[in-house]
Amino acid sequence: MTVVAVTAHRTTPKGEEVHLNTPYVTALERAGLVPLVLPTSLTPANAGLALQAVSGLVLSGGEDVDPARYGARPHPELGRTDQVRDEMEATLTRAALAMRLPVLAICRGVQILNVALGGTLYQDLPSERPGPIGHDAGEHDVTVDPLSLLFRTVKAQHLRTNSRHHQALRDLAPPLTVVARAADGVVEGVELRQPEGQWLIGVQWHPEDMTDPSLFQAFAEAALGVQAVG
């Protein structure tokens, strides 16, 4: 059994509730993994401890990241944010890297990954980086660096992906390198500049809602490797 942690968002319609879209669970189970959801409001200290019980980390999609985390003032079109989730996931990200746990970061996940490691974001893509591609809803092509782990994983230099993100990576965190972009230049995929035995892929699209299982399968293989060593 290979268990991986998955982050989630919280809503407060009637008391606070933790939510994770079921396609994440399905995609991870199909790859042979057992996903465990980490409560959004778990204390950062316990979030770090929780990683000791798992073989990988999935940073899932969700709301915008608070620009205060990278020293920017809020843009008028900034969406909903959750500072508690930001702090918990930033802690998780740094702990996972320190432990060399495999990390799969999806949509908001790649954004908090970048911010946690020292990068910044476009807070409102349509106004701060206007272009011909609508990233907020729909599909677009993505070009993948043929020398990347992402390319070896999806085995394609051109992908048609879904796209439903409001924010995007701006200044890249020093440990990361861009391995996929949309035709307008928006960053769609990152990995570690110097992996040194660590598996990490971040994508701006939602592979859990697509038919290609390759990202989840590769993540599962990496997690299995951690388990074998552990």
Binding site for Mn ion (CB under 5 A): 135, 163
Consecutive H or E run containing 19: strand 17-19
Q: Which is nearer to Mn ion, 9 or 135 (CB)?
A: 135
Output the smallest distance, CB 184 to Mn ion, in A. Answer: 9
Q: Which is nearer to Mn ion, 102 or 202 (CB)?
A: 202
Q: Which residue, chain included where needed, has tokens 């609508």?
A: 134
Q: Of 89, 107, 135, 166, which residue is the catalytic one?
A: 107
User: Are β-strands 158-163 and 168-169 bridged in parallel, bridged antiparallel, or unpaired?
Assistant: unpaired
Output the smallest distance, CB 135 to Mn ion, in A. Answer: 4
Instruction: Give one DSSP letter per residue of 179-214, joined into a string.
Output: EEEETT--EEEEEESS-TT--EEEESS-GGGSS--H
Is 135 a known active-site residue? no
Output the smallest distance, CB 161 to Mn ion, in A. Answer: 7
Cα-atom radius of gyration of the chain, to the nearest Å? 16
Distances (CA, A) of 60 to 109, 140, 145, 161, 168: 5, 20, 23, 17, 15
Is 128 a known active-site residue? no
Q: Which is nearer to Mn ion, 87 or 139 (CB)?
A: 139
Output the smallest distance, CB 62 to Mn ion, in A. Answer: 16
Contact criterion met (CB below 8 Å) for 93 and 118: no
Q: Which is nearer to Mn ion, 108 or 135 (CB)?
A: 135
Q: Of 135, 140, 166, 206, which residue is the catalytic one?
A: 206
Is 208 a known active-site residue? yes
Residues with catalytic function: 107, 206, 208
